[in-house]
Structure 1
C-alpha cells in the first residue's frame, strides 16, 4: 500500500455536490450540501481543499491535453512522436491544430479547479472549530496557491483568458489583459505566502503545498511574466506592486528556511530507474550504490510540489484513470516488443522522443556532465536489442530516450520475466500487472534545484547555480546569462520547464530552428524531422507560443472571446516524410 499518496484521493470521493436547497419553504435542507450548510466543520474544510487538489488528477486523465505535456513536446528538447494516428502529439510539437476543440477538455478541467478554489476562498472563513488560526490560514493559503497555479497554466498555454475570481455566475467575460491576469496570479501567490505558516511539512501533509512552495512558484511566475512581456514589476489588484527585490526576498527565504534540500548522494537517485528492484539489473546503475529517494514510499527531500498517484486507477466510470501516472504511460517507449528489449524502460505511446539537438548541444557545451547520460538513454549503446518502429508506425523516433518521467520496469520476483512496472512488485495491491494503469511514481512539478537556479538568475549571482553543479561534481563557474540558461536546460530537462524558459528569454525561434532536419525514423526507417506546414519558426512567430482557444468556448461566448493570433490556419493532417 502507499498510504501517504492517497491523502487527497480518498477524501475527494467524499466531497458532496452543491445544489440549490430552496423549494417553496424557507427551510434548511438536511440531505444536500450547499454553501449555506457546507463546509461547516474542519473535516468539511479538508474535503473542500482536497477537491481542489484532485483537479490535478482529473486533468491527468487526458495528459496530452495538459500544459505540462505540451510544454514538453513544444520545446526544442523533444519532438512529437507517437504513431501515424497520434495527430495530437505531433500537432503540439509543431504548434499546429488537430481539431477545433483540441484543448477544450483542459480548459474545462482547469476552470472547474478554479471554481473549486473560489468556493474554498469564499467559504472556509465561515468555519468556527479550527484547531488554530494557523490551520485556517494554511487551508486558505493552499486554495489561493492552487488558483494561481491553474491560472498560471491557462495563461501560459492560451495567453489572455477570462479571469473569474468568484463563484457567482459570470457570463461572457472577455479576456483579461496580461497585466490583470498575471497581477491576479501573483496576488494569489503573495496571499498564500502571507497566510500559510512557516511550518515544515510532515508526512501527513505530503502532497500539500506550504509557504515555501508558494515562494518558489512566485519566482517561476514572476520570471515568466517579466521576461515574456518585458516588464520590470507588476501592479496587483489590491493596488500594491511586486518588484524583483520582493521576489528575491521570497526566494531567499525558500532557499534558507524551507528545509528542502538537494539530493546530494547522487543525481541519479532522483529518478525511478534507481529503485531497489531495478537498480542492480540495469547495467548503467548496477554496482553504483544508488538508491531511489522514493523507494518504498520514502519522501523526496528535493520534491516541493508533485502530482500524487495511487493503486486505484481503473477504466471504470468516474475518471479514475488519472489516479495513475498517465504521463509515464504516454512518454514510455512505443510498445510492440518484449520488455527485455527496452528494460529498464517501460512501454507506452512513445510521445516526446528526445530531439538529437539536445544531446548534441549538451555534448558540445558540457561534455563531462554526468546528468546527460543520467537523463538521456542513447539507445544504440544502452539497449542493443531494441527494435525500432514501435507498432511499425512510430513517427519522429530518434536514437535518444528520456529517463526521468518514463515508465520503469523490473524483473519479476517469481522469475517469470519482467513486470510492466516496478510498482507492481514494490507496492502490493494491484489487481493485475497492467502497463497502462500501474505507473504511480510522482510527477514532480517544482524541485528545489529549480529554486536555486531561479535565485541565481534573479540575483545575477552564481551561488545557487554552483550548488547545483557541485552536486554532480562539476566545477564552479562565474555567472552569466548564457551559463545560467545552459544550467537550467541540463538540470531541468524533461521536467516541463524548458518551453516557458525559451519563451521568456526570447530565444524560442533560434532554439526551435535547430530541430529542422534532425535525423529521425518513421516506422523504423530513416527519416528527417523536416518542415511540416509552415515550420517551427513561422508557427512560433505567428502564435507567440500560445495555443488555440477552443472554438466551442468562443461560440458559447457569442463571440465575446476572441481567437488567439496565428490560428486562422495550420491544421495538422498527418506526418509528411522528408528523408527517405
Structure 2
C-alpha cells in the first residue's frame, strides 16, 4: 500500500505540496495518515488538529513573523559581535537584500503550504463540519501566501500527489479565497465567549475585510503599484466589519495577558495551554530581553528608534507599568529603554541565589539597577547599528520589546493565546475603507474608546495618513506592519537603518529554489 508521511519533515512535506518529483513515497506513517486513493483511510480529525496547531507557526520569532515585521521599519535583528548573525538572514530581511536562499523565506513558504495540504486532505475526506473548518483554515493560510509571495500553487480535488500542482496568479488566488469564504460563512458557528481559537463567523468576516481592503494591491498589474482601490470593494470591507459581533477590551493589555482568552476583542487566536504548548509565544518576551532580566532573554531583536519615537512616551500601548508587573519582572511590559531593574528576588547581576546557593527572598523587584555580564549598568539605548562590534553596546544597544505579558506560572510554555485577529484592527480597516471611497458610517464611540484607552490625549484618526500612523501604534508586532506599509506605498521607502529606496522586486518575496522544480511555478520578477 502506498503511504505518505504528512509531517515527517517540513522539507519532505513541501515537496509533496509543491510538486517536486519524489521517487520513493513508501514512507513510514508517523501520524496515522493513509490516503483513500490507495485503499486506506484518512484520519481527518488528526489532520484538522494539525492544521489548527499549524497556526502556532505565527507565534515564533522566525518564518511569517520575521517576514511581516523584520522587513519593515519596526523590527531589526542586528548582529551582536559573534552572535545573532545567522548567515546575515535577519539583516537581509531588514535591509531588503534577501535572495531565494534566505532560510526564513523558505520556511515560511513550507509552513504555510504544508498546512494547506493538510486542509486539502480534510476537505476531500472529512465530515461536513470538518470540511467547513478546513476550508476556513485553508483560506487563512492561502491569504498569507498571496500576501507574501503573490502566486499560489494549488491542487484540484482528486489529483494525484505525484503530479505538479497548478498555479494561480495573485488575482486568481484572491478571487478564489474570497469566493471560498463567502460560500462557507453562513455555515460557520458564532464566536464562542472566552475561546476565539475556534474557527468562527467573525473570523471569516475579518478575513474577508482584509482581502477586500488589499484587493487593489493583490490585483495590481505591477505588485509594487500603483494601486487602485475600488469603491465597491471598500464597501465590502465596511459590510464585513459591521457584521462582526465584537467589542473593544477596556484595557489594551487585556489582549495580551496570560488569560487573554477572556478579552472580547480577540476575534481569532492560536490557543495555548500552560505547560503543554505555546513554546513559540515566549519569543515575544525573550527575543530582545537581556540574559539578566526577568524573564531572562536572548538579547537579540530590537525596535528601531524611528518607529518607537512616533509614540507618546506615556502611551499605555508601549508602557504597561502596573505594579503587579513591576513586582514580578522589575520593568514595564511593552517597549523597554533606559536603565533596567531587577526582577522578583533577583540581584543586580540577575542572580536569584547568593554565593551559598540560598534563594533571595528580600530583594524588592524593580529597585536594583541591573548590570550586564561584564558588570556595566544595563542601560538599553535607542542608538542601533545593523552590525554591533562595541563590547558594551553588544548587550545594551537597541530598544527592547515585550508584546505579551509573561506568564509567571510558566515562562516557557505559557497560557497566553496568540492573537491573529483583533477588533481594533477591524475598526481601523473600516475607517480606512470609508476614506478610500467605501459607503458606511464609522462608530464614533468605539473609535473614541480606541483612542482614549491609550492613556494619552488624542483624536480619532480622520485621514489616511492618520490611519496609517494609528495602525503602526495599535498593532505593533502583530504581523500586519508589512501588509500596511505595502498598501500605503511606504514599504520600499528609505528609513533609519535602510537609507535607500528598495527595488520594486522586494515588494514580494522570492519563490524558494526547491519549489521551482514544479514546472508550473515561475520565479517572481527580479530574482
Q: What is the Cα deviation at residue 98 of structure 1?
A: 6.5
Q: 2:155 aligns with which of 158, 164, 167?
A: 164
Alignment of 1:182-201 (within 5 A): 182-197=174-189, 199-201=190-192
Q: 1:326 — aligned with what? A: 280
- Matched with 1:417 is none
User: For residue 153 of structure 1, what is the aligned residue in structure 2?
Assistant: 144
Aligned-residue offset at 1:488: 1.1
The secondary structure found in structure 2 opposite 1:446 is strand
CA contact (8 A) 2:265 2:423 kept: yes
Q: 1:14 to 1:142 in 2, by over 3 A?
A: farther
Alpha-carbon contact 1:76-1:355 (below 8 Å) kept:
yes
Equivalent residue number for residue 357 of structure 1: 306
> Cα gap change, 1:333/1:250 in structure 2, threshold over 3 Å: closer, same or farther?
closer
Q: Residue in 2 aligned with 1:6? A: none
Output the CA distance in 1 between the equivalents of 2:181 and 2:230: 15
Aligned match of 1:491: 474
8 Å CA contact 1:350, 1:394 repeated in 2? no
Tell me how far 1:94 sits from its aligned partner.
Answer: 2.0
Give 3-state SS (helix, strand or coil) of 1:261's partner. coil
Larger mean CA deviation between 160-169 and 145-154 belongs to: 160-169
Q: Which residue of 2 aligns with 1:286?
A: none
- Once residues 211 and 176 of structure 2 are traced to their aligned partners in structure 1, the CA distance between those partners, rounded to angstroms, is 11
CA contact 2:273–2:415 (8 Å) conserved in 1? yes
Aligned to 1:466: 448
Matches within 5 A, 1:448-467: 448-460=423-435, 463=444, 464-467=446-449
Aligned partner of 1:252 in structure 2 is 242
Q: Using structure 2 for the length normalisation, give the TM-score.
A: 0.71
- For residues 80 and 478 of structure 1, do their structure 2 counterparts lie closer, same or farther at Cα, with a shift above 3 Å needed? closer
Task: Name the CA shift for 1:166/1:391 in 2 (closer, same or farther; >3 Å).
Answer: farther
Task: Calculate the aligned-residue CA RMSD, in Å.
Answer: 3.4
The question of whether the paired residues in 2 share the 8 Å contact of 1:72 and 1:496 is answered with: yes
CA contact (8 A) 1:305 1:444 kept: yes
Give 1:85 shift: 2.7
Structure 1 Cα separation of the partners of residues 453 and 242 of structure 2: 19
User: Normalising to structure 1: TM-score of the pair?
Assistant: 0.65
Which residue number in structure 2 is paired with residue 537 of structure 1?
A: 501
Q: Give me the whole-angstrom Cα distance separating, in 2, the residues matched to 1:391 and 1:56.
A: 39
Aligned positions of 1:181-580 closer than 5 A: 181-197=173-189, 199-202=190-193, 206-227=196-217, 229=220, 230-232=227-229, 243-254=233-244, 258=245, 260-264=246-250, 266-272=251-257, 293-294=259-260, 299-311=262-274, 323-329=277-283, 332-334=286-288, 337-338=291-292, 342-343=293-294, 345-348=295-298, 350-351=300-301, 353-363=302-312, 369-374=315-320, 376-383=334-341, 384-385=369-370, 387=372, 398-405=397-404, 408=406, 422-424=408-410, 437-460=412-435, 463=444, 464-473=446-455, 474-477=457-460, 479-510=462-493, 513-516=494-497, 537-538=501-502, 541-554=503-516, 556-558=517-519, 560-567=520-527
Superposed CA offset, 1:448-505 (max 9, x none): 1111111212223553533311333544436111121111111111111111001011
Would the alpha carbon gap of residues 218 and 386 (structure 1) be closer, same or farther in structure 2, given more than 3 Å must change?
A: farther
User: Equivalent of 2:41, from 33, 44, 58?
Assistant: 33
Q: Equivalents in 2 of 1:48, 1:185: separation in Å?
A: 21
Q: Residues 157, 386 of structure 1: CA spacing in aligned structure 2 closer, same or farther, 3 A cutoff? A: farther
Q: Secondary structure at the match of 2:478?
A: coil
Report the equivalent of 1:16: 32
Give unpaired runs (5+ residues) of structure 1. 1-12, 23-28, 40-45, 128-135, 235-241, 276-292, 314-322, 409-420, 425-434, 517-530, 568-580
Q: Please give the alpha-carbon distance, in whole angstroms, between the structure 1 residues aligned to 2:282 and 2:99.
A: 23
Cα pair distance change 1:536/1:373, threshold 3 Å: farther
Q: Over residues 211-236 of structure 1, what are the superposed CA-to-partner deviations in whole Å (9 max), with x where a residue is unaligned?
A: 011101111122122245324459xx
Partners of 1:60 and 1:440 in 2: how far apart?
Answer: 16
Identify if the C-alpha distance between structure 1 residues 94 and 438 changes in structure 2 by more than 3 Å, giving closer, same or farther.
same
Q: Does 1:72 align with 2:63?
A: no
Any unmatched runs of 5+ in structure 2? Answer: 1-28, 221-226, 321-332, 342-368, 373-377, 379-387, 436-440
In the alignment, is the contact (CA less than 8 A) between 2:68 and 2:481 conserved in 1? yes
- 1:331 Cα shift? 5.7
Per-residue deviation, 1:185: 1.8
Q: Could you say if the C-alpha distance between residues 90 and 394 of structure 1 is closer, same or farther in structure 2, counting changes exceeding 3 Å? A: farther
Deviations 1:195-226 (A, max 9, x none): 214x34155x6521200111011111221222
Quote how far apart the aligned CAs of 1:354 are: 0.5
User: Cα deviations across residues 401-434 of structure 1 (Å, max 9, x unaligned)?
Assistant: 222147x3xxxxxxxxxxxx6232xxxxxxxxxx
Whether the 8 Å CA contact 1:227–1:505 is kept in 2: the answer is no
Cα displacement (A) at 1:60 = 5.7
SS in 1 for 2:108: helix
CA distance, structure 2, for counterparts of residue 192 and residue 393 of structure 1:
56
Q: 2:458 & 2:102 partners in 1: Cα distance? A: 49
Distance 2:448 2:159 in 1: 49
**In 2: Cα distance, 1:477 partner to 1:85 partner:** 42
Judge which range, 113-122 or 95-104, deviates more: 95-104
Distance between the aligned counterparts of 1:168 and 1:396, measured in 2? 53
Counterpart Cα distance in 1 of 2:481 and 2:510: 20
